[in-house]
Structures are given as structure tokens and as C-alpha cells.
């Protein structure tokens, strides 16, 4: 007796439905996502149109270079001192009997460095914190 052998079709994975589902998910996410446009402004710091002159008494100066180096009371601060900037400012302010801090930041210094100096000064409780700027007016832009 002769048995007939069935030939089996090779098993295939049909990718067309999978691609359809992926495209539907893509369309769903594209429709449901909100797109936000980032707006950038060109800012040329530290020009200022208004100037206030501080008295020379009790001023402590911190200089921030464009490389984000901090110089406090004519001393370059190490990275450990920068991490504990509020303690260093408080120590030097107590030694010099200073109640005012003047931040002198380079126009190309990172904004985060200036914010760090302002936050550290706020933590120390100094009477006033000011930022030195260059004059803005006809004498500068001739």
C-alpha cells in the first residue's frame, strides 16, 4: 500500500500586518505629540543702560572668567572651594567685614556660573549683591 505524503508549505511570517500596525502607531504618536518650538535670543551681556555706583566701603569682589574660573578677593578658587562657594564667601566676608558683593562676570562666562555666585551670595545673607556691567550708550558704540 502506497501512502501519499503531503508536502507542507514552508512557514512564513507575513510582515504586512506588522508594518501596518507600526505605521498606525507612528501616526497615533505623531498626532498626539505636542511640538514645542525653542526660541533662542542673541544676548550680548553684560551691557547695561542704567548704572548705579556703589560706595567703596565693604565691597567684596568675585570675578568669573569666561572659562568659569572664580576669583574671590584676588584669589583663584579651587574646584572644592567652588563647590562650597557660599562657605568661602561667608568666611572672606567675615574676615574683611564686607556686607556687599560685586559680581564681575565676563560677557562670555557661562550663565550657570553667575547664577551659582548669586545663589551662594544669597545663602550667606550679605546685605546686597550687584553685578558689574559695562556702559551702554553712544560712547561705547561709536
- The 3-class SS string of 52-68 reads CCCCCCCEEEEEECCCC
pTM exceeds 0.75: no
Question: Within a domain: residue 66?
Answer: yes
Number of neighbouring beta carbons within 10 Å of residue 24: 10
* CATH code of the domain containing 109: 3.30.420.270
- Give how many domains the chain has, as a whole number: 1
Question: Within a domain: residue 124?
Answer: yes
Burial class (CB in 10 A: 0-12, 13-18, 19+), 111: exposed
For residue range 84-93, list pLDDT tens digits in order. Answer: 888 888 888 8
Q: Write out the residue range of the structural domain in which residue 68 sits.
A: 49-135
For residue range 77-126, list pLDDT tens digits in order. Answer: 887 887 888 888 888 888 877 778 888 888 888 888 888 888 888 888 87
Question: Within a domain: residue 74?
Answer: yes
Question: Within a domain: residue 121?
Answer: yes
Question: Within a domain: residue 140?
Answer: no
Question: Within a domain: residue 3?
Answer: no
Planar angle of CA 28, 30, 36, nearest 5 degrees: 140
| Cell 550667606 sits on residue | 124
Question: Within a domain: residue 32?
Answer: no
Amino acid at each position: 500500500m502506497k501512502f501519499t505524503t503531503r508536502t507542507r508549505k514552508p512557514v512564513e511570517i507575513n510582515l504586512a500586518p506588522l508594518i501596518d500596525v507600526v505605521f498606525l502607531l507612528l501616526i497615533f504618536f505623531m498626532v498626539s505629540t505636542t511640538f514645542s518650538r525653542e526660541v533662542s535670543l542673541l544676548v550680548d551681556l553684560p551691557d547695561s543702560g542704567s548704572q548705579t555706583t556703589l560706595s567703596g566701603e565693604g565691597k567684596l569682589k568675585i570675578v568669573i572668567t569666561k572659562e568659569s574660573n572664580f576669583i574671590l578677593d584676588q584669589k583663584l578658587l579651587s574646584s572644592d572651594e567652588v563647590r562650597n562657594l557660599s562657605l568661602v564667601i561667608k568666611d572672606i566676608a567675615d574676615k574683611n567685614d564686607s556686607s556687599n558683593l560685586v559680581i564681575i562676570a565676563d560677557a562670555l562666562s557661562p550663565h550657570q556660573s553667575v547664577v551659582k555666585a548669586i545663589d551662594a551670595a544669597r545663602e550667606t545673607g550679605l546685605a546686597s549683591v550687584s553685578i558689574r556691567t559695562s556702559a551702554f550708550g553712544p560712547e561705547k558704540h561709536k
